[in-house]
Chain A
Amino acid sequence: MVETPEIVTKDLIKVYRAGKSEVIALRGLDMQVGDGELVALQGPSGCGKTTLLNLIGGIDRPTAGSVVVDGTNVADMSDADLVSYRRDRVGFVFQFFNLVPTLSAEENIELPMRLAGKPSELREKRTRGLLQLVGLEKRAVHRPDELSGGEQQRVAIAVALANDPPIVLADEPTGELDTKTGEEILALFRRLNGELRKTVLVVTHDARVAGIAHRVLQIQDGKIVGEAARN
């Protein structure tokens, strides 16, 4: 039983239509994630993990069901509210980093704060702090094509934390990284959860994530089919 759940999905359904064919990505998925939990989502390809993440992150809308985050149903939000939600409440970390190629590391981190209209002094201070958090103070002015994969992902994590969201969603964050770098990233996620008290949801094939997660949810055919808690 999860105490004071932060994220609750109920009977969540997502159907994709491609021409005349339909793909049911989620078939009535129920899930709860508590405040401050680090939960891993595992399952075979096409089981609906990324779809679930997208729905929770406000990037996509469900076909049916609800996604309640801190008491507010994300599915009912207007487009303008979703923009604010994505900006202030959720930080996304992508498998392929998705940084703006023409901006430096610190400018990429600063971008969400600019989008939020934060003043420059606050932006600078927070950017420096986040660069320190991810250990990239010396690489601040380098552009993504001048950074390694691991460095790019660390910048991406800092970008996700720019507006200090309570929830961090990560989609295969170590998928493009070698073993050692992947471990560094996982350590970072542990810090996010342990020190910064972020609620973290990680979609992953990486078995090592299970080692740092409070719970591991197994998803299959668009439904939660199993759950394991960390020892």
Chain B
Amino acid sequence: MDITFSGSPANATEMRADVAAVPGVADAVIYRFAQFGQIGSDSSPAVTFAQVLGIEPGRVPHDYGAFALVDGSMDLGRDVVALSIDGAAALGVGVGDRLFFQGWRQDPGGNYTTSTHNVTVAALFRMDPARSPIVYPGTYLVFTRLEDIGYYEAQLGLPSFEAQIQGEVIVDREALVDPYDLEASQRNVVRVERAIRNALLPHAGYIWNNALASNLSNFAGVIGAQRTLYLALSGPVILLGLYLGAVGVDLSHAERRRELAILKTRGATGRQVVGLLLVEGVLGGGLAAVAGLAGGVALSRLLLGVVNPFYSTAATRYDVLALSPWTLILVVVLSVLFMVLVTFRSARRTAGLPIIETLRHYTPGEVRIGYKPTLDLVFVGLAATTYGVVLYSQGAGDNFLTFLVGSLFFVLLPFAPILLILGTTRLLTRWSGRVYEWTARVWRPVAGDLDHVIHRNLRRNPRRAANVAVIVALGMAFGMFILVTAASQLAYQERQIRAGVGADLRIGAPPPDAGFASNVSAIDGVAGVTRMRTVDVTPPFGYASVYAVDVATFFEVTRPEPFYFREIGAEAARSVLATPDQVLITERYRDEAFLEVGDRLPFRKDIYNRSVYEGTVFVNVTIGGTVRSLPGAEVWGAAPPPAVFGSLETLAPLLAGDATWLPRADRHLVDLEPEADWRAVRDAILALGGFDLTIADEQIEELRLNPVFRAFVGFMEMQIAFIVVILTAGLGIILYTATLERDVEFAAIRARGASGAQVASLLLGEAFSIMLIGLLVGAGMGTLTALVSTQLVTAGPGGSGELLVPLQMVVPAEALLLVLLGPGAMLLTALAVSARVARMDVARVLKIRGG
């Protein structure tokens, strides 16, 4: 509900009507809690807890979830009530059967007496268990008429207490809330709240919570944070584009140096040449901004439904384009600024070239650019040291050295992959040309005996080749890192969910039916059922939860993963549990309570039967082994819990007495068949009276449908798609411009007897070599960075200890697809460029450009 309020019970209906009449209110519901909370039946004289609510006819509070009438009629009256179906199953009643309310009161002497009042069950209903706030088993829901609550209280002899009426308001969100205009939405909601306050005044009512306003405020904060996060995450793509742009500008100037030299022979000054190139740069920057923005928006709209596997049409209303004029202006200004910066540097260099050297188109000498590996060695060393120190800090625990040094290197950690890629790629491509020989050799099956031409051509302009390789490496690394990290995180969360549930499905509150487990086993799709009970006893040393399991079925049903075991395996653990008077303890309990295998654990428990002391039981067990944990144990955070596990037989004496107040004290873990429909199984279990179901697949589905998660995954996949597009288009342009520079060379080779395919194979070989280097470095570094991140997370935050569920690196199919498709797309672009060379008009090129 959006807004909750309270008011006087006098004229409650009128109060509700006044609130509902406020413009902007879609619905208003009122209800009243009863002072008593126990119910019983003829079939089950033992009373159980219940939440008794007085409601208006046909107006069930939204806070209790989705309501569904199962049997009977909600036409309630005096002494006629509606009961939740789980309560009906527990009490063994149906429509028309008798139910009694029980109340406790204290007399002046301090003694407690009970009284009961009979009612008739007129309806059975179900509330959607996933949304019900009632988490404790044995606490059921009863609806009565609002005006009868006082009557029941009087019948039970409870002191008169004019409990406030509770109310819920559902706001008309369609009309008042627009996530694209949060300011207006917040204003609307606040104004509705004020109007409701005014409506409540005559009824001594007040609003005690406006959840919708809080949510909108939180949403504004989340959106702001998301924008910042996404902008930061866009950084690598933006940098990639900028880097590519800089290389492209440099190349375009190099390709035109002869033409610019001719301008200078006609009298143009260096400043005029620079000015000319700057004007081109500014215009280009403006055009690029508009085209880029249009293309980027169009591409992201196209990719929105393709790259995000969780895309749902249910939210299409909020998939509108939000593009403000300021965004356009900002993009144009930034684009022009960038182009000016890059163009200026390159233009000055080009304008400064000696005229005669550039006019002699042949023979252009090999570009001899001095290279010193010092800086790149520093980059690589710094990155490697950063990773090493950070990992050491995680494992070594807290000390002054790790605090001082570790903090420093944590600051460098985000930059470590970039330094590693830059340094490694440049060292490989510029320090020694051997790597080009190796990559050209890989291309030999295509180029035949011409591979030496390929690596010589790459060595002619090592800086350009290195720049392109760095671009490819950065793009691939980013893509690999994101895909591997996201897949690893998702797999980790799914395993965490499964570890939390304990099996495929957990029934937290089974009915008191001895045949329930076998009935569940008989459901189509169920492979096995096992019982696990939380024992209501305090261990003799330290603190730990105590669990009793059915050894015969536990391991088959839960199929514990290897991470649960360390010092002994699953079979040994089963053997310990099967041995009478032996138990397993978790490593955490062992360490916190200073225990060892072989130690005795003397349990003691006072047994009560409905507050009546029946005696004390003593159970002595021996620690037979240690495990990290077992499925079904309550998971506290991410660390393994302190716990003791014994068989139902060994711990049987401790199981006597009421333990129903413990959440999921007696639960059943269910293993589903591989292709089973969990929804059908869930419905069948509910029909049998099972309650508080937790289904691993359902939770995983909800995880994947979480809007923030979906948005993040979709955004990251779109980033990767953009990277591939940028790399493909950018490399294509760079290759194209580079071939323009070498037209005469290719024409001469064609004139001397090379076929178009042979010349194309040379170009493709060069592109392939650069791409191979970039791919190996990028994919390798990306995977390495993901692995290190995984290790860091697995090590856990300082002092927290290791995680129960290990975070393992998962390389998804999309990552392999990136490794294949990314270079594949780039090679296709290179093929298109080389096709131009293969089909060139040799005579025309030699005539026009050959001097």
Contacts and interface: CB of A to CB of B under 8 A. Distances in A.
A145 B363 contact: yes
A101 B843 contact: no
Contacts of B364: 101, 145
B166 to A, nearest CB: 85
A228 interface: no
Interface string A55-70: 0010110000000000
Q: Does more than half of chain B's interface fall in helix, strand or loop, or is it mixed?
A: helix
Contacts of A100: 453, 745, 748-749
A102 B457 contact: yes
Interface string A89-105: 00110111111111100
A59 B842 contact: yes
B325 interface: no
Contacts of B745: 98, 100-101
B456 interface: yes
B753 interface: yes
A215 B315 CA distance: 86
B638 to A, nearest CB: 58
A97 B361 CA distance: 11
Interface stretch (B444-452, B595-603, B788-796): B444-452
B363 A99 contact: yes
Interface string A130-152: 00000000000001110000001
Nearest to A104: B456
B754 A102 contact: no
Given A114-B449, A117-B449, A159 B365 contact: no
Interface string B748-761: 11111111101000
A112 interface: yes
Nearest to B459: A102
A160 B457 CA distance: 22
A94 B748 contact: yes
A103 B449 CA distance: 14
B752 A107 contact: no
A50 B755 contact: no
A144 B363 contact: yes
Contacts of B459: 102
A224 to B, nearest CB: 21
Contacts of A54: 843, 846
A126 interface: no
A83 to B, nearest CB: 4
A106 to B, nearest CB: 12
A1 to B, nearest CB: 31
B460 A98 contact: no
Could you say which of A57, A94, A96, A102 has the most chain B C-beta atoms within 10 Å of its C-beta? Answer: A102
B749 A145 contact: no
A56 to B, nearest CB: 12
Nearest to B368: A145
B842 A101 contact: no
A50 to B, nearest CB: 7
B847 interface: yes
B457 A145 contact: no
A102 B753 contact: no
A115 B758 contact: yes
Contacts of A122: none
Contacts of A35: none
A76 B107 CA distance: 122
B57 interface: no
A87 B753 contact: yes
A157 B749 CA distance: 14
A102 B850 contact: no
Is the interface on chain B under 10, 10 to 19, 20 to 34, or 35 or more residues? 35 or more
A86 interface: yes
B30 interface: no
Scoring A84, A111, A117, A143 by chain B CB atoms within 10 A of each residue's CB, the highest score goes to A111
B744 interface: yes
Contacts of A95: 851
Highest count of chain A CB atoms <10 Å: which of B448, B449, B749, B750: B449
A80 interface: yes
B843 A145 contact: no
Contacts of A80: 755
Nearest to A163: B753
A160 to B, nearest CB: 8
A59 B753 contact: no
Contact of A101 (B450, B460, B750, B753): B460
B448 A86 contact: no
Interface string B813-851: 000000000000000000000000000011100110011
Given A96-B361, A98-B850, A117-B448, A86 B752 contact: yes
A159 B752 contact: yes
A183 interface: no
A221 B674 CA distance: 87
B362 interface: yes
A112 B460 contact: no
B740 to A, nearest CB: 16
A102 B456 contact: yes
Nearest to A102: B456
Nearest to A123: B449
A49 B191 CA distance: 90
A79 to B, nearest CB: 8
A101 B745 CA distance: 8
B444 to A, nearest CB: 12
Contacts of B843: 51, 54, 59-60
Contact of B753 (A86, A98, A144, A152): A86
A162 B752 CA distance: 10
B561 interface: no
B280 interface: no
A94 B758 contact: no
A102 B361 contact: no
A100 B365 CA distance: 10
Given A101-B460, A102-B453, A115 B366 contact: no
Contact of B366 (A50, A107, A114, A143): A143
A96 B842 CA distance: 15
A102 B457 CA distance: 6
A91 B456 CA distance: 24
A229 interface: no
A114 B746 CA distance: 15
A88 B753 contact: yes
B753 A103 contact: no
A114 B449 CA distance: 6
B842 A145 contact: no
Nearest to B845: A59
A116 interface: yes
Contact of A115 (B452, B754, B841): B754
Given A96-B851, A100-B453, A103-B453, A111 B361 contact: no
B752 A87 contact: yes
A95 B851 CA distance: 8
Interface string A31-62: 00000000000000000001100100101100
A96 B360 CA distance: 10
Contacts of B748: 94, 98-100
A103 B366 CA distance: 10
Contacts of B448: 114, 117
Nearest to A162: B752
Contacts of B752: 86-87, 91-92, 111-112, 115, 159-160, 162
B363 to A, nearest CB: 4
Nearest to B757: A83
A116 B753 contact: yes
13 contacts: A60-B842, A60-B843, A96-B850, A97-B363, A99-B363, A102-B453, A102-B457, A102-B459, A103-B456, A115-B752, A115-B755, A145-B364, A145-B365
Given A101-B365, A101-B460, A102-B459, 18 more contacts: A51-B843, A83-B753, A83-B755, A86-B750, A87-B753, A88-B753, A92-B751, A95-B851, A96-B850, A98-B850, A99-B362, A99-B363, A99-B748, A100-B453, A103-B452, A103-B456, A112-B752, A115-B758
Interface of A: 50-51, 54, 57, 59-60, 79-80, 83-84, 86-88, 91-92, 94-103, 107, 111-112, 114-117, 143-145, 152, 159-160, 162-163
